[in-house]
């Protein structure tokens, strides 16, 4: 299990309790740590920045990007030996943390992250904080993790600001403080972090840590939805459909529900099924409605009204809906690695 996924599992329950409210039942899940499930890859999140224009080429980084990990390791170690380069230390840590070209070694990774963090590298601070939160490469240490997240946040690391906000919601390393959490979410949201935009939108929607403001909530949801945050897509579709903080647009809402439904959101699937069954803002589509209801129900979002609706369909329409839903159900039943 990678560190980011472990953090998600550690904090998800806390968030569900901290943000519990009637509106929250409409979302598919509470905000998650910004780094959830993202195993770093050369293309997705480079471990070291390229050399600035006019500087010597960054041979270690270039090799890392090409997937030549042993070369990257050798070049990074040269830079460490030459001038204790913290970016090179972070790159070495990434290689050991993920088993790129070398055997995965959390203790080695933690040691290299610490060396880089002690020299002011914000990415190393953030990664080491995740290690401390999850017990990778050493014992769990929430206090050390909080300090590292705070230091990385001061250096402008959006994901660190987001995860630090979660700790203020948790109320263990710090007293629970929604206002401080909102400030940190705003820092990350302003930097384009979609998870933070969604979390802050939830705060504005419910008036937690900030004044209740449906317009600001809708604006943030729109930004996060555009960045493909699936929970924000569902919530923004709800806002569009009801005209909450934004001009009512049922057609746009339906399109967004469909997008989230196709991505696997049971709540979006249920909302879409209701729209299609009732003919809300468009002609009714009974078979398609039944299909999405069957899929949503299998995903855990049942609906008594839709159960009755499907039971009253013509047998051939019900059979068509079941046939259309079957590939989805088969995919949901398939074991996942």
Integer Cα distance of 88 and 77 in angstroms: 7
Domain ranges for the chain: 40-140, 249-337
Integer Cα distance of 250 and 228 in angstroms: 20
Integer Cα distance of 162 and 35 in angstroms: 9
Of 155, 156, 153, give the one whose Cα is nearest residue 167: 153
Sign of torsion, CA 18 24 29 32?
negative
Q: Which CATH superfamily is domain 40-140 in?
A: Tetratricopeptide repeat domain (1.25.40.10)
Instruction: State CA 110 to chain mean position distance.
Output: 24
CB 281 within 8 A of CB 251: yes
Integer Cα distance of 65 and 85 in angstroms: 19
Residue 31 has a pLDDT of: 42
Residue 18 has a pLDDT of: 52
Residue 171 has a pLDDT of: 87
Integer Cα distance of 274 and 290 in angstroms: 9
Integer Cα distance of 277 and 269 in angstroms: 12
Structure tokens at 182: 């909102």
Integer Cα distance of 61 and 77 in angstroms: 12
Residue 337 has a pLDDT of: 54
Residue 50 has a pLDDT of: 44
Residue 191 has a pLDDT of: 96
pLDDT in tens, the chain (337 residues): 344 433 433 444 445 445 543 333 233 333 444 333 222 333 334 444 444 444 567 899 999 999 999 999 999 999 999 999 999 999 999 999 999 999 999 999 999 999 999 999 999 999 999 999 999 999 999 999 999 999 999 999 999 999 999 999 998 889 999 999 999 999 999 999 999 999 999 999 999 999 999 999 999 999 999 999 999 999 999 999 999 999 999 999 999 999 999 999 999 999 999 999 999 999 999 999 999 999 999 999 999 999 999 999 999 999 999 999 999 999 999 886 5
């Amino acid at each position: 299990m990678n560190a980011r996924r472990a953090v998600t599992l550690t904090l998800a329950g806390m968030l569900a309790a901290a943000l519990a409210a009637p509106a929250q039942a409409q979302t598919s899940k509470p905000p998650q740590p910004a780094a959830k499930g993202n195993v770093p890859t050369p293309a997705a999140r480079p471990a070291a920045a390229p050399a600035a224009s006019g500087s010597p080429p960054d041979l270690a980084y270039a090799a890392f990007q090409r997937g030549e990990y042993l070369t990257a390791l050798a070049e990074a170690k040269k830079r460490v030996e030459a001038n204790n380069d913290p970016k090179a230390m972070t790159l070495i840590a990434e290689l050991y943390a993920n088993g790129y070209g070398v055997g995965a070694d959390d203790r080695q990774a933690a040691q290299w992250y610490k060396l880089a963090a002690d020299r002011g590298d914000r990415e190393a601070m953030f990664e080491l904080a995740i290690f401390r939160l999850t017990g990778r490469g050493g014992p769990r240490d929430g206090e050390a993790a909080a300090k590292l997240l705070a230091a990385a946040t001061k250096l402008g690391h959006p994901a660190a600001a987001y995860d630090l906000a979660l700790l203020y919601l948790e109320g263990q390393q710090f007293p629970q403080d929604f206002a401080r959490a909102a400030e940190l979410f705003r820092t990350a949201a302003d930097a384009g972090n979609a998870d933070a935009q969604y979390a802050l939108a939830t705060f504005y929607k419910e008036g937690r840590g900030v004044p209740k403001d449906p317009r600001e909530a809708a604006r943030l949801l729109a930004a996060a939805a555009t960045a493909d945050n699936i929970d924000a897509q569902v919530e923004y579709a709800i806002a569009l459909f009801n005209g909450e903080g934004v001009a009512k647009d049922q057609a746009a809402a339906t399109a967004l529900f469909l997008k989230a439904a196709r991505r696997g959101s049971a709540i979006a699937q249920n909302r879409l099924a209701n729209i299609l069954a009732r003919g809300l803002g468009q002609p009714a589509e009974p078979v398609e409605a039944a299909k999405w209801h069957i899929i949503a129900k299998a995903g855990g979002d049942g609906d008594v009204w839709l159960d009755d609706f499907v039971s009253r369909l013509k047998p051939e329409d019900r059979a068509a809906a079941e046939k259309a839903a079957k590939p989805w159900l088969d995919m949901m039943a398939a074991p996942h690695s």
